[in-house]
Amino acid sequence: MNPPYGPPSGGPAGIAAPEPRAPGVPAETRAASAPPAAERRWRPEGSLDVLLTLRPHRRGGGDPTWRRTPDGAIWRTCRTPDGPGTLRVGARGGEILASAWGRGAPWLLETLPSLLGADDDVAGFTPGHGVVRDAARRHPGLRIGRTSRVLEALVPAVLEQKVVLEEARRAWRWLVSRYGEPAPGPAPEGMRVFPAPEVWRSIPAWDWHRAGAEAVRAKTVMNAAWHAEKLEAAAGSAELDRLLRALPGIGVWTSAEVRQRSHGDPDAVSVGDYHLPSLVGWSLTGRRTDDAGMLRLLAPYRGHRHRVGRLLALGGERPPARGPRARIRDYRSF
């Protein structure tokens, strides 16, 4: 099928409430009756909060690629370099217990430590401000992990550009549920694997419309999918930033949101974010600020500016709300 928008252009272990699940056989029951393709036990050095570390990869309630079951385990699907895979991560007595299914199972277990922040280097991070220091003290298990999968972070980031978050998450749920393949193994009902690049390139215009994503974001995703191989091969965060920002429709905010997840970049600041400048300004000075002011306030934390943003999101102070909330748009009836 030809791409409906034409050829590509441009250059290259806390506990939270359980996720809602569709009715059916409980995941833990099915897991007990279906042996995993592979298992791994891993003991991290230092404190690790699995939920806080993996939460950035969850795109709202009902995300087809991410679930948390009542037993506390986190399930995640991934399109690995070897194919689709399902990963179940649990923790017991300071040890991580992981099981995986599908062709991507060996890769998922091999990269498990990186996903959980084993490569996260906090050297040079000094939480000087009292609010940052207190948040770091209360959340010692927060780590910045890396998925090593670029397109899986890029598509939802593009969908979140300049829209109400729930609008973007609705589009993500619809597209992945429709075009993603069923998760391998005994995953919770309704889980799907992120579609392959060629699938994203072939989604017709009417289905983007049905998902609630207008043509601009659809074109950006489809064009990026044409360059997926080069993006996935980026050697580091700086190179990926250059490649991403050379593509139409991808700027500094989208690049940062991707690199935080795919490369575990603790310094990738989401400049242009609707909420982050106010959160940083109010937490550190008691006043709202803009992007330029936020960057000045975060300058002492260079190398760890995204880490500080995460900590402030957990323990900072948010400014009082003002004005009506943005309205969720619905293109599907147009």
Give residue-wise pLDDT tens across range 111-141.
999 999 999 999 899 998 999 999 999 999 9
Does 333 have pLDDT greater than 50? no
Q: What is the pLDDT of residue 35?
A: 62
What pTM, to 2 d.p., does this model score? 0.86
Average pLDDT over the chain reads 89
Q: In the predicted model, what is the mean pLDDT of residues 192-218?
A: 97
What is the CATH superfamily name and number for domain 31-262?
Answer: Hypothetical protein; domain 2 (1.10.340.30)
Residue 278 CA to chain centroid, in angstroms?
22
Task: Tell me the CA distances in angstroms from 252 to 161, 268, 271, one per residue in order.
Answer: 11, 9, 6
Task: Tell me the CA distances in angstroms from 107 to 21, 67, 114, one per residue in order.
Answer: 27, 20, 11
Q: Is-contact 329 145, C-beta < 8 A? A: no
Q: What is the pLDDT of residue 3?
A: 40
Q: What is the pLDDT of residue 320?
A: 76
Q: In the predicted model, what is the mean pLDDT of residues 262-289?
A: 96
Does 7 have pLDDT greater than 60? no
d(CA 89, CA 76): 8
Q: In the predicted model, what is the mean pLDDT of residues 184-198?
A: 98
Per-residue pLDDT band at 34 (split at 50, 70, 90): low
List 38's β-bridge partners, or say none. 100
Does 219 have pLDDT greater than 70? yes
Task: Tell me the CA distances in angstroms from 247 to 17, 52, 221, 242, 301, one per residue in order.
Answer: 39, 31, 10, 9, 29
Q: What is the pLDDT of residue 21?
A: 36
Of the two residues 115 and 3, the one the predictor is more confident about is 115
